Homo-oligomer: A and B are copies of this chain.
Amino acid sequence: MKAGIVGASGYVGGELLRLLANHGDVEVTVATSNKHKDEKVARIHPDLYGLTDLKFTGRSIFDLLDDLDVVFLAVPHGTSINYVPQLMESGVRIVDMSADFRLRDPDKYPVWYGFEHPYPDLIKKFVYGMPELHREELKNARYIAVPGCIASSSIYSIAPFASLDLDNNVITVDAKVGSSGSGAELDESKVFSERYNSVRAYKPAGHRHTPEIEQEIKYATGRDVKIALSAHSVNMVRGILTTSSIFAKTDEIHGWGLLREFYSGEKFVRLIMDKKSNFKYPDPKIVVGSNFVDLGFAIDRYINRIVSFGAIDNMIKGASGNAIQSMNIMYGFNESEGLTAPSLFPV
C-alpha cells in the first residue's frame, strides 16, 4: 500500500517516515515539503540516511493522488482544512495529524483555535485516532484525526479514574514536554544556549489540547470535567510526562483495578508498579523510541487526591505511533505492525 505525507520535513512527518520505513504493508512514495523541495529526505531526517533515496517534492499532493492509498497530513493546525475536502473527493483515505478534525463540536474551534470551522459536517467523518478508546469505530473509518500529544498522555492517565466520585470536577494537569514537541522551525528561544537546562512554561493556560481532553473524558465516562492544563518544556528532546491531580477518594488496590480493567488486553499500555525499580512511576526516559504509554499513580491521602501519571514518546504514542496504529486498525493490518521497537534504554 502506498502512502503520501504532506509536510514531511517537520518532526512529525519525519517520525512517520522513520516508523513506516519498517512497516511491512505500507510504502511511503510521496513526501511533500515546500521549504525543502527537491532535497533528499535524509538531509533533513538523518536517521534515514542509507534507508531511503526519497526526495521531498514541491508538487501539490492533489497531482500525486493516482498512486496513493492514504495521505498523512503533517501540517499545522488550520491547514488541514484546506486539504481535506478535495482529498475526500478523490477517494483517498486521510490520516490527519493536525487538530482540525479532532473536536466533535465545531463551536470549540473559534474559542480554542481562533477560526470558524468551515466544514463542520466533515468532522463527523473522522474518527479520533486513539485505538484504546475508539477501536471499533476505527475498523470502519476512512478518515482519522490523530490526537494531540499532551492530550494523549492526559486522556490515557485520567480516563480510568474519571468515573470515580469526584470531589471537584476540575482536574489539574501539569505537562513536561521535550523540545521536539515545538517543532523544527527556527526561533531565537530555541537556540541551544538559550534552551538548555531550562524549564520553560510555554503554555501555562489556554492550551489547545484542553477541549480535546475534556471531550474524550466525556466520551469515555460520561463525565463533564474541566481540565486546568499547564504545559512546560523541559531539558530533553523526546517524551512527555503528564501529572494529573484528580480529587477523589480511592486506594491503591482499587486504583490499579480501574487501570487494569480499562486497559485490559491493550498491548501498548503498561502499568508501572514496581517500587523496587529505579523507575517507580512512569517516566518518559523509559518509553522514548517505543509506542508504549506508561501509566501509574500515587494516592494523596492528605487531600484525597489521585496523582496520575502518563508517560509517552510525544512523537510516537503522542503522534505518529497512534497514527500508524489507528491506520493499521482501519486497514485490518496487524495492529502492531511497524510499532514493535522497544524503547531505547538507556539513552
A197 touches B281 (CB 8 A): no
Query: For residue A346, which residue of chain B has the nearest CB?
Result: B193
A278 touches B199 (CB 8 A): no
A170 touches B201 (CB 8 A): no
Quick one: which of B170, B191, B230, B279 contacts A307, CB cutoff 8 A? B230
A292 lies within 8 A of chain B by Cβ: yes
Which residues of A in the span 165-210 have a Cβ within 8 Å of any Cβ on B? 168, 170, 172, 174, 176, 179-180, 184, 186-201, 204-206, 210
How many identical chains are in the complex?
4
Q: How far is the CB of A43 from chain B (nearest CB, A)?
A: 5
A59-67, A71-79, A267-275: which lies at the interface: A267-275
A344 lies within 8 A of chain B by Cβ: yes
B307 touches A347 (CB 8 A): no
A135 lies within 8 A of chain B by Cβ: no
B345 touches A45 (CB 8 A): yes
A327 and B201 CA atoms in complex are apart in Å by 33
Q: How far is the CB of A264 from chain B (nearest CB, A)?
A: 14
A235 and B47 CA atoms in complex are apart in Å by 19
A347 touches B288 (CB 8 A): yes
A89-97, A98-106, A216-224, A335-343: which lies at the interface: A335-343
Which residues of A in the span 273-303 have a Cβ within 8 Å of any Cβ on B? 274, 276-286, 288-290, 292, 294, 297-303
A236 lies within 8 A of chain B by Cβ: yes
